[in-house]
Structure 1
Amino acid sequence: MSVTSSGLDPVLAGRLKRDAAGLFPAVVQQYDTGTVLMVGWMDDEALHRTLTSGRATYWSRSRREYWVKGDTSGHVQWVRSVALDCDGDTVLVQVDQVGPACHTGALSCFDGRALPAALGSPQGPTPPTGDPDDDR
């Protein structure tokens, strides 16, 4: 799929960075709790529909069609805000989610899937001066 003309504001469209298929990720978050619900894919038209309809609209990479969250499941995502990240390659869609967001029936696609990871802490040791990871 390639980027096609849409009703998206050309200034906004010019700020977007897309992959080779014309898509960019949309991180979806519950507006009042901050829970990350899912990640979907959008193109210019899906973003335009999301911005103008009040309903979250995505591009299905497997079905190769647009889908409005909740049209078949009833688990609607009412858009509360949409923000473009600093690089222009991801959008954050804050929604009021009705029912579960995940196709498995879980509230979030990230429920119960934590990976074992070493945890950092602000009380941990201070890195030595000249830390190669410090890009200041």
Structure 2
Amino acid sequence: MMVLIEWTWKLKEEERLLEIVDSELSDYPENEVLRFIMVGLFCTQAASSQRPSMAQVVEMLTKKVHLNQKALAKPGVYRTHPPRRLGSGAFSKASSSRTLKGNNSINPNGTATHCSFDSSGLSEILPR
């Protein structure tokens, strides 16, 4: 299953970003819409340290600042299905921006590989 951000990224890579716009919209400023979509992609980068601050987002949306698309990284996607199990309590490529209990190997992209953890320390975050 592909989520909206993955589809948007795919369209960006294929240079077809305007296909994300509702077909019912017949007249819109293409450059402005492309800019808004690109700002959204900057805000969803997998590494939170690469995402712009709110002040930067406001500036990107309201001023004619250059958006360095070469610095744009693939967005991070949260999956609700469980990761593949390697064995008792171990997961493969479990996305994490926090340190897990046990032995961890975390690469710069924020992906923990072959880590085990104690599930008693987990919290489930639910939307409002």
Q: Which has the higher helix share?
A: 2
TM tier, shorter chain? under 0.3
RCO comparison, higher one (Cα < 8 Å, 6+):
1
